[in-house]
């Protein structure tokens, strides 16, 4: 016997298509809500910590800068204090030096007064000598007279030095003795000087160092007189081996004629001044 099975379409459709929906579970959402607030709180706290840390870093940097500035100021103050101490020591040393040198300064002042007195005595002696010469010549000494050691010619006195010096030193020496390096403007003066200097070199007050043109020591122009010069001179020779410059200063040669030489050459010199009258 065969058993037949028949599907009931109504039953199948109702059981397949009309299934009841599964109940929705709210357990995951509840867990999410439970962790949301702590997570936000933790995030806020983390942000707050980062912000505070950043502010602390800035504050630390500022504090480090302030500490460095204070340290630099301290070092500067220490250096200034050290300088002040050294300056105080220098002042003390200067005071001590001044106190020790007062006696020496007093001695120098006394020496200057003595020199002034000697100079005054020398002037008085020169005047007495002049008066004595006038008396011995029955008053015929119309041209005046000269200090001791000076030679009279015309209305001028001449000193023929025994020491040697450069031209500039000779100029300064004469200036310091109320005179100047000799200047002459006539054949008579040149011949007188030549006779007294034969055999030796003597500086005279003639130079072209200042302007490149020959002039007397008082800066008046020199009028060239070839008769007074050695033939071919002046030649401004530069091969002298005595340093910079050529031969800018004039002297009386041992034959009595003028010649130019380098101003640093050492030789005797002639000073000139006006004669005195009693």
Q: When comparing pLDDT for 169 and 104, which is higher?
A: 169
| Rounded Cα–Cα distance for residues 158 and 192 (Å) | 10
- Alpha helix stretches (DSSP H) within the chain: 9-17, 27-136, 167-175, 187-197
pLDDT of residue 236 exceeding 70? yes
Q: When comparing pLDDT for 8 and 39, which is higher?
A: 39
Are 252 and 206 a contacting pair, CB within 8 Å? no
Q: When comparing pLDDT for 25 and 245, which is higher?
A: 245
- The strand pairing partners of 156, in sequence order, are 153, 274
pTM score, whole prediction:
0.54
Question: What's the pLDDT band for 56 if we cut at 50, 70, 90?
Answer: low
The pLDDT score that the predictor gives to residue 105 is 65
**CA nearest to 197, candidates 186, 182, 212:** 182
**CA nearest to 209, candidates 174, 254, 241, 244:** 244
The structure tokens listed for 230 are: 């050695």
Please write the tens of the pLDDT for every residue from 142-177. Answer: 567 888 899 999 999 999 999 999 999 999 999 999
Q: 247, exposed or middle or buried, with CB in 10 Å at 0-12, 13-18, 19+?
A: buried
Dihedral, CA of residue 45, residue 50, residue 55 and residue 59, to nearest 10: 120
Are 208 and 219 a contacting pair, CB within 8 Å? no
The pLDDT score that the predictor gives to residue 1 is 47
pLDDT of residue 267 exceeding 70? yes
The pLDDT score that the predictor gives to residue 41 is 80
Q: Is 200 helix (H, G, I), strand (E, B) or coil?
A: coil
| Rounded Cα–Cα distance for residues 6 and 102 (Å) | 153
Are 166 and 264 a contacting pair, CB within 8 Å? yes
Distance from the first to the final alpha carbon of the chain: 196
**CA nearest to 207, candidates 130, 257, 261:** 261
Query: Which domains does the chain carry?
Result: 151-274 (3.10.100.10)
The pLDDT score that the predictor gives to residue 16 is 46
Question: What's the pLDDT band for 264 if we cut at 50, 70, 90?
Answer: very high
């Amino acid at each position: 016997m065969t058993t037949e099975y028949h599907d009931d379409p109504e039953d199948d459709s109702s059981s397949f298509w009309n299934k009841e929906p599964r109940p929705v579970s709210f357990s995951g959402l509840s867990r999410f809500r439970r962790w949301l607030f702590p997570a936000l709180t933790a995030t806020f706290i983390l942000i707050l910590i980062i912000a505070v840390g950043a502010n602390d870093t800035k504050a630390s940097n500022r504090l480090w800068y302030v500490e460095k500035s204070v340290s630099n100021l301290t070092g500067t103050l220490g250096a200034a204090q050290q300088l002040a101490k050294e300056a105080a020591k220098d002042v003390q040393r200067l005071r001590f030096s001044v106190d020790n040198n007062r006696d020496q300064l007093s001695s120098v002042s006394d020496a200057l007064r003595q020199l002034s007195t000697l100079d005054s005595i020398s002037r008085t002696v020169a005047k007495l000598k002049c008066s004595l010469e006038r008396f011995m010549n029955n008053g015929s000494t119309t041209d005046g007279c000269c200090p001791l050691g000076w030679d009279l010619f015309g209305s001028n006195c001449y000193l023929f030095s025994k020491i040697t010096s450069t031209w500039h030193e000779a100029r300064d020496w004469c200036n310091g003795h109320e005179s100047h390096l000799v200047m002459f403007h006539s054949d008579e003066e040149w011949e007188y000087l030549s006779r007294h200097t034969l055999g030796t070199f003597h500086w005279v007050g003639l130079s072209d160092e200042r302007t490149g043109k020959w002039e007397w020591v008082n800066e008046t122009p020199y009028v060239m007189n070839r008769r007074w010069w050695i033939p071919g001179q002046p030649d401004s020779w530069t091969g002298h081996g005595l340093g910079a410059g050529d031969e800018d200063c004039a002297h009386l040669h041992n034959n009595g004629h003028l010649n130019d030489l380098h101003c640093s050459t050492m030789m005797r010199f002639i000073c000139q001044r006006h004669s005195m009258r009693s």
